[in-house]
């Protein structure tokens, strides 16, 4: 499955629009959207931008030198999850790894949080991304990323399996219906790698 197909599937899924409604908003033929979604058509950048825009997302292109180390981006975590049955399972190792890096390199927090992530395709992951971005911004004394405003709180509280304790839940998480204590993701920089 190509990255374009993943983008369109996730954007369509999170927007809850039908193919017909998405195509109408994007001002493209329904067949264009369905062919892009199935991988039968590789869209132009303009068409992809219109489809994603119709779903409420902005397409951004980024050019970086190959020899420069990649900056940590929260957006990397939009694909760091799986689903088994009816349960979403974040890849906690990847989530903690990125957050550990930001704890060690706090000057990288702005570039990590202000780039809007791709729609993850699952409301829990989209909400978790927004809550983490807000917590990182609040902890660093930065303004919250504007993209988090478009992510609604969960309709029903979510608690990951085997995480247990309902204490020390960051206010940014609780406000969004995430019952996840801070220690599950955020570690003291002095203990990282020790």
Note the pLDDT tens digit of each residue in 14-33: 788 898 998 999 999 999 98
Q: What pLDDT digit, counting tens, does each position of 156-181 carry?
A: 999 887 655 567 889 999 999 999 88
Q: What is the pLDDT of residue 137?
A: 94
Q: What is the pLDDT of residue 173?
A: 93
Chain centroid offset of residue 110 CA:
16
CA distance 147 to 184: 24
Regions of the chain where pLDDT drops below 50: 1, 194
Q: What is the pLDDT of residue 14?
A: 77
Q: What is the pLDDT of residue 134?
A: 96
Set out the domains of the chain in order of their start, with CATH numbers: 3-54 (1.10.260.40), 74-191 (no CATH)
User: Residue 27: which residues within 8 A CB-CB, separation 6 or more?
Assistant: 50
Q: Concatenated DSSP letters for 79-146?
A: G-EEEETTEEEE-HHHHHHHHHHHHH-GGGHHHHHSSPPPP-SSHHHHHHHHHHHHHHHHHHTPPPPG
Token pair of 123, please? 């409301």
Q: For residue 10, give the H/E element and its range.
A: helix 3-15
CA distance 110 to 94: 19
Q: Is 8 exposed, middle or buried (0-12, 13-18, 19+ CB in 10 A)?
A: buried
């Amino acid at each position: 499955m190509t990255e374009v197909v993943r983008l369109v599937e996730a954007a369509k899924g999170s927007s809850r629009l039908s193919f017909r409604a998405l195509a109408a908003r994007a001002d493209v033929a329904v067949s264009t959207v369905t062919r892009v979604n199935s991988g039968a058509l590789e869209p132009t950048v303009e068409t992809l931008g219109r489809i994603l825009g119709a779903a409420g997302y902005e397409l951004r292109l980024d050019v970086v030198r190959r020899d420069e180390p990649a900056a940590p981006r929260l957006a990397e975590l939009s694909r760091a999850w799986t689903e088994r049955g009816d349960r979403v399972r974040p890849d906690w190792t990847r989530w903690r790894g990125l957050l550990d890096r930001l704890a060690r390199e706090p000057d990288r927090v702005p570039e990590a949080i202000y780039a809007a992530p791709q729609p993850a395709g699952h409301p829990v992951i989209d909400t978790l991304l927004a809550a983490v971005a807000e917590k990182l911004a609040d902890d660093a004394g930065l303004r919250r990323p504007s993209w988090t405003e478009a992510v609604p709180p969960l309709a029903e509280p979510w608690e990951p399996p085997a995480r247990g304790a309902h204490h020390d839940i960051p206010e940014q998480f609780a406000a969004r219906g995430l019952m996840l204590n801070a220690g599950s993701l955020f570690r003291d920089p002095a203990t990282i790698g020790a």
